[in-house]
Structure 1
Amino acid sequence: MHIRDLPFADPGRPDVRSGPRFLLWLGRTQVGGQAKAMFWGTVNMASVALFPLAAGLAVQAVVDRSGARLALAAGLMLLLGTIMALADMMLHRVSVTNWITAAARVQQLLARKAAELGATLTRRVAAGEVVAVSTGDVEKIGWFVESVSRFMAALLTTLVLCVSLTIYQPLLGLVVAAGVPVLALAVLPLLPHATRRADEQREKAGRATELASDTVAGLRVLRGIGGEELFLSRYRRASQEVRRAAVRSARMWALIAAVQVVLPGLLLIAVVWYGVRLVREGRIEVGELVTVYGMVSFLLLPLRHFEEIAQAYSFSRPSAARAARVLGLERVGPPDGDREATGPGPRGDLYDPVTGLLAPAGRLTAVVCGDPDAAGRLADRLGGHADGGATDGTPSVLLGGVALDDLPLGAAREAVLVQDKDPVLLSGTLAELLDVPSSGAVAAEAALTAAQCDDVLASLTRSSAEGSDDPMRARITERGRSLSGGQRQRLALARSLITDPEALVLDEPTAAVDSHTEARIADGLRRLRAGRTTVVFTSSPLLLDRADQVAFLQEGRVATVGTHAELLRTDPAYRAVVTRRTDEEPDAADEEIDKAMDDKALDVELAGFEKAEADEGEQIGEQIGGTA
């Protein structure tokens, strides 16, 4: 695998039963890269380990005054140095490739899962945790996957070196072979403490990240109520907790690093002391002592890799567990492999067995629900995006008698489109924003007209940095921050209308627009979606009056169904929700009823008044022209 081959055509199906199993699966997906890294790591460490042998031969050649052996030792040093440089370069290249490809694979898996779950992802997992998994956790997972191969190379080199020392110089080799396991295992009692402190640090960091995300997302509201300092003080406290936890974790890892330095130093002192005695007794040569000393010094390198793999696993294990938890979330319905749908999608009435809501095919149905959260959950259920489904025994929403949970994901998304109350506009040109999968039956111009976007187009044209008169080439900033709330809502509505799904579900699509614009949007929506199933969650009398039928939900069930005027007259609970009045205020309620009944007449009168003004303006213009 090469970096230039990214992204993967298929990142695979991960083992998400646990964090360690997920790490093992990642390692298996990169067997080739791991083998290359292990090979070059072994060559690099072997050349470093053999360098003391060449140095010992050179020292012994000087003692024996042998020029030929000195030249041989020099040539061996040159060869080992060249191999060392080449192997180190290749090891770094392959290791970085392994790190990046592992991280890229995890990121692709997360992106695919986010696309599969849609809006339900952040309801199942906290937003801060999603951010932590997709950023810091991905890097830690890639670090562990990359370090495994270097650890295996260090372990293999250490074993071979101990055996070679025992054969080369049995007396000193036995001392080294007995001391190395002690050095490698000495830090094991400290690892659980270090792991707990690292977990505590990550947990506090995740909470701080989530708090920061919430603060940034609600900054405008916080400024409106003067709550910036309150939330900033909370974030400062959370940040200080992260700092203290990081210091405690760093102290433990510093202790581990100190142990990894002190114990090899003690082993080196013991080897030198014992080796000097053997030299004085004439049992070994000076060059042999230099060789053994250099090889024992080399052991500091693989021991550092042992420490690194312990640290990498300690940090990556909870990261892998979080990633596995996110990737383990499943959408109810067929697996992604069954996405290819054959034939036309389902058509007919949209029915929710849980609430009893029936949206007849080809008609505009308005839904009134006193609880906005319940309305949002029902809207998601109608789109097949809600949690649970068949996994907890809750019946699925039906479209034309076909359960949405039984449809492939692509077919379900094509059949029913849900626009939530806070839609997101992606950055780019207006043409790119409206370039969405669609049936092709609704043109962009028709959708923009129905959504009453004329003033939005004019505003985009005036603010265009390119100086183009074409509003479709005007750029929209991130999340549409340069537009007002009503302008964002209307552009999002136009985007939804262009897709022209079999069933369109809109959650409060006109909450941020004025009443006159809302009335025109209601008429445009009814006209453009004629013959298509449309469900609108709203409590606006202007939209309710244009609906073919209105369903009123109470305590999670459809209580009554009728037209807006009928329900205003016959249902006090409905009247209280729509007019925000109680039965103790009959005059206001009656006024609202009269207003709803006369709404269309008022629109006709306004239209006639506008036409009369236009005619009068034309007559004045003609008179002026005649006088001239």
Structure 2
Amino acid sequence: MVPPVPSGRSVLRTAVREQRGKVAVGALLGSGHQIGEALVPVLIGVVIDQAVTDSDTGALVVWLGVLAVGYVGLALSFRFGAWTGDLAATRAEHKLRVTLVERVVAPGGGTERGRLPGALVNIATEDAKRVGVSIMALMIGTSALMGLLTCAVVLLSTSVTLGLVVLLGTPVLLWLGHLLSKPLEARSGAEQERAAHASAVAADLVAGLRILKGIGGEPTAVTRYRTTSRESLQATLRAARAQAFQNGTVLALTGCLIAAAALVGGRLAADGSITLGQLVSAVGLALFLLGPLQTLAWVNAELAQGRASAARIADVLATPPAVPSVDDSGSALPGPAEPVHGALRLTGVRHGGLDALDLTVAPGELLGVAATDPAHAADLIRCLARGSDPEDGTVELDGVPLSDLDPAALRTHLLVAEHDADLFEGTVHSNVTAAANGASDPGPAMAAAGVTEVLRTLPDGAASAVSERGRSLSGGQRQRVALARALAAERPVLVLHDPTTAVDAVTESEVAAGIRELRAGRTTVVVTTSPALLSVADRVALLVDGRVTDTGTHSELVGRHEVYRSAVLS
């Protein structure tokens, strides 16, 4: 059964439903606070009629005591209601953030398509926060409505005319506020979209700062970010203008409603229909109306922004995976049968630049793949990693198509180490053992990848700190640590993509020998044009125009194939 596609409304409903207990308690306590606030003018009117007018000191003391108790109740209701509301909003925000991260890192992938990493971060932070605030706004809005209802009931009991002014005017005001929130919702969505893009561009530029400085591209980068930031600013200003217009218009309409209630109350007091205390209560209630009505205007604005953010979150959650982890019936796909022998077969694979590619890798073989076009090498890597399934043809592991295997389970047996693999903040040791699950000694992997030489230059050896994305290391050091991480994982099948482009020729030869020795008996595919790596391979496949045109040892292909010599030795 296919799960329903998330929508902005379903995201909001789910967030509220998951926090329904706290939402109910917060709304109840907030309603108590608003009801108490509405009753304060009523109590003051009673004090005037029963104590002040008759100069009754005893009654005055009693009613002042009642007022004091009422204020204590108001304070406690507000304090605990606000605490409960904040807790519900924070937990909903956290749950959404976790859900988004789980979807982004899901084995099936797909969310990164068409989005920069910074945009996903912005959605998981700012948009999730706005949805959390929407839950708080829902509770506050419920409390404000209860305050308005209490005010209307009291005014109706005092005077039907006064009550009708409030009961008829409030829905009209709420309806106008809802209409005014529509432009704000649209502009808020655009604001968040541009803010996310600006954040993504900034993160992208910071990540490539060293390269930009090397090629003198700082002016172009600054211009790009300035343009993006200006567009984000304009979107923010448009949203702010929409919010200011909504708030100002609702405030003006609220003032008209309050003035009407005060005017009607004054005329009723003048002709003796209500007492002096009731007039004071009516005026106080009319002034009290300003608070709930302003609150409802704020609630409308927050809900509009929350709906826009929820729609952006739903868009990420609804992104179809690049590769499915379930079959057509919705059942989870199985993992590879154990033990994995490591036989790979590509038959008629068409994907990107690959054109009916046929390739076989025997169990335990060290195969080199030399592609004349780097784009075709990247397409092959993507198919082997099951980053996406081929447009046509099949990729098989031990005779089973990869498309019939769960991607997460597959990657515990088949590891593809891409050329631009990142390191993580921590230590050299923690980076090397990140995929090893503590099952083996990382020493041999570090020796094979040439990391032991790197450790001699670092102050604390394997315990030396590695900054974000490995920026504290040189390019060659980062590449060797990433290679050691792939080797230390000890997968039955390992695919390496240009693992030594940033190291010198002597080190490259040592690493090539280390890979062959460490991976003996296990299937290894090295996609590269490095002569040092290809020379240690059992067999090399030449990939030209998206298909294999020749296979043989490195020396054989050098001797008989001009295209191979041009790709590898030039």
- Structure 1 CA distance for aligned equivalents of residues 3 and 134 of structure 2: 17
Within 5 Å, give how 1:429-578 maps onto structure 2. 429-438=427-436, 442-460=440-458, 462=459, 464=460, 471-578=461-568
SS in 2 for 1:319: helix
Q: 2:344 aligns with which of 338, 347, 350?
A: 350
- Structure 2 CA distance for aligned equivalents of residues 44 and 169 of structure 1: 24
SS in 1 for 2:106: helix
CA RMSD of aligned residues (A): 2.5
Shift of 1:89: 0.8
Shift of 1:513: 0.5
Q: Which residue does 2:40 correspond to in 1?
A: 51
- Structure 2 CA distance for aligned equivalents of residues 401 and 102 of structure 1: 45
CA 1:441–1:159: 2 relative to 1, 3 Å: closer
Within 5 Å, give how 1:111-260 maps onto structure 2. 111-117=101-107, 121-123=111-113, 125-260=115-250
CA 1:265–1:29: 2 relative to 1, 3 Å: same
Q: Which amino acid aligns with 1:497?
A: L
Q: 2:67 aligns with which of 66, 77, 94?
A: 77
CA 1:256–1:64: 2 relative to 1, 3 Å: farther
- Structure 2 CA distance for aligned equivalents of residues 51 and 508 of structure 1: 76
Q: 2:92 aligns with which of 102, 110, 119?
A: 102
CA 1:545–1:298: 2 relative to 1, 3 Å: same
C-alpha contact 1:345 1:411 (8 A) present in aligned 2: no
CA 1:531–1:223: 2 relative to 1, 3 Å: same
C-alpha contact 1:522 1:546 (8 A) present in aligned 2: yes
C-alpha contact 1:334 1:409 (8 A) present in aligned 2: no
CA 1:397–1:343: 2 relative to 1, 3 Å: closer
Shift of 1:396: 5.1
Q: Which amino acid aligns with 2:29?
A: W
Q: Which residue does 1:364 correspond to in 2?
A: 366
CA displacement, residues 176-227 of structure 1 (integer Å, 9 cap, x when unaligned): 1121112212233322222333233223223322321222122122212222
CA displacement, residues 24-55 of structure 1 (integer Å, 9 cap, x when unaligned): 11211111121111111111111111111111
User: Which ranges of 4 or more aligned residues in structure 1 deviate by more than 4 Å?
Assistant: 13-16, 118-121, 335-343, 393-396, 439-442
Within 5 Å, give how 1:306-455 maps onto structure 2. 306-329=296-319, 330=321, 331-334=323-326, 338=332, 344=338, 346-353=340-347, 354=349, 355-384=357-386, 386-388=387-389, 394=392, 397-438=395-436, 442-455=440-453
Structure 1 range deviating more: 139-148 or 59-68: 59-68
Q: Which has the higher helix share?
A: 1
Q: Which amino acid aligns with 1:113?
A: R
Q: TM-score, normalised by structure 2?
A: 0.91
- Structure 1 CA distance for aligned equivalents of residues 130 and 233 of structure 2: 19
Q: 2:79 aligns with which of 83, 89, 104?
A: 89
Q: Percent identity?
A: 35
Q: Which residue does 1:41 correspond to in 2?
A: 30
SS in 1 for 2:105: helix
Shift of 1:118: 7.6
Shift of 1:415: 0.9
CA 1:439–1:255: 2 relative to 1, 3 Å: closer
C-alpha contact 2:413 2:493 (8 A) present in aligned 1: yes
C-alpha contact 1:14 1:25 (8 A) present in aligned 2: no
- Structure 1 CA distance for aligned equivalents of residues 379 and 11 of structure 2: 32
Q: TM-score, normalised by structure 1?
A: 0.83
CA 1:517–1:369: 2 relative to 1, 3 Å: same
C-alpha contact 2:433 2:489 (8 A) present in aligned 1: no
C-alpha contact 2:34 2:146 (8 A) present in aligned 1: no
Aligned residues: 556
Q: Whose relative contact order is higher, 1 or 2, with alpha carbons under 8 Å and at least 6 apart?
A: 2
- Structure 2 CA distance for aligned equivalents of residues 441 and 150 of structure 1: 53
- Structure 2 CA distance for aligned equivalents of residues 396 and 166 of structure 1: 76
SS in 2 for 1:397: strand
Shift of 1:279: 1.1
CA 1:402–1:309: 2 relative to 1, 3 Å: farther
Q: Which residue does 1:592 correspond to in 2?
A: none
Q: Which residue does 1:597 correspond to in 2?
A: none
- Structure 1 CA distance for aligned equivalents of residues 548 and 157 of structure 2: 86
C-alpha contact 1:423 1:492 (8 A) present in aligned 2: yes
- Structure 2 CA distance for aligned equivalents of residues 445 and 543 of structure 1: 21
CA displacement, residues 107-164 of structure 1 (integer Å, 9 cap, x when unaligned): 2112222332487543453323212212211211211123222222322432343234
SS in 2 for 1:109: helix
- Structure 2 CA distance for aligned equivalents of residues 124 and 347 of structure 1: 37
- Structure 2 CA distance for aligned equivalents of residues 255 and 205 of structure 1: 22
Shift of 1:519: 0.7
Structure 1 range deviating more: 283-292 or 303-312: 303-312
C-alpha contact 1:339 1:411 (8 A) present in aligned 2: no
C-alpha contact 2:144 2:292 (8 A) present in aligned 1: yes
C-alpha contact 2:269 2:275 (8 A) present in aligned 1: yes
CA 1:300–1:440: 2 relative to 1, 3 Å: closer
CA 1:101–1:88: 2 relative to 1, 3 Å: same
- Structure 1 CA distance for aligned equivalents of residues 339 and 24 of structure 2: 48
CA 1:356–1:323: 2 relative to 1, 3 Å: farther
Q: Which amino acid aligns with 1:358?
A: T
Q: Which amino acid aligns with 1:455?
A: E
- Structure 2 CA distance for aligned equivalents of residues 15 and 302 of structure 1: 37
Q: Which residue does 1:24 correspond to in 2?
A: 13
C-alpha contact 2:423 2:482 (8 A) present in aligned 1: yes
C-alpha contact 1:15 1:21 (8 A) present in aligned 2: no
Structure 1 range deviating more: 127-136 or 543-552: 127-136
Q: Which amino acid aligns with 1:387?
A: S
Structure 1 range deviating more: 34-43 or 430-439: 430-439
Shift of 1:361: 1.3
Work out which of the two has the higher radius of gyration on C-alpha atoms and give 1 or 2: 1
SS in 1 for 2:495: strand
Q: Which amino acid aligns with 1:479?
A: R
C-alpha contact 1:362 1:534 (8 A) present in aligned 2: yes
Shift of 1:69: 3.3
CA 1:352–1:109: 2 relative to 1, 3 Å: farther
SS in 2 for 1:362: coil
Structure 1 range deviating more: 209-218 or 51-60: 209-218
CA 1:105–1:388: 2 relative to 1, 3 Å: farther
C-alpha contact 2:333 2:404 (8 A) present in aligned 1: no
Give 5+ residue unaligned stretches, structure 2: 350-356
CA 1:373–1:305: 2 relative to 1, 3 Å: farther
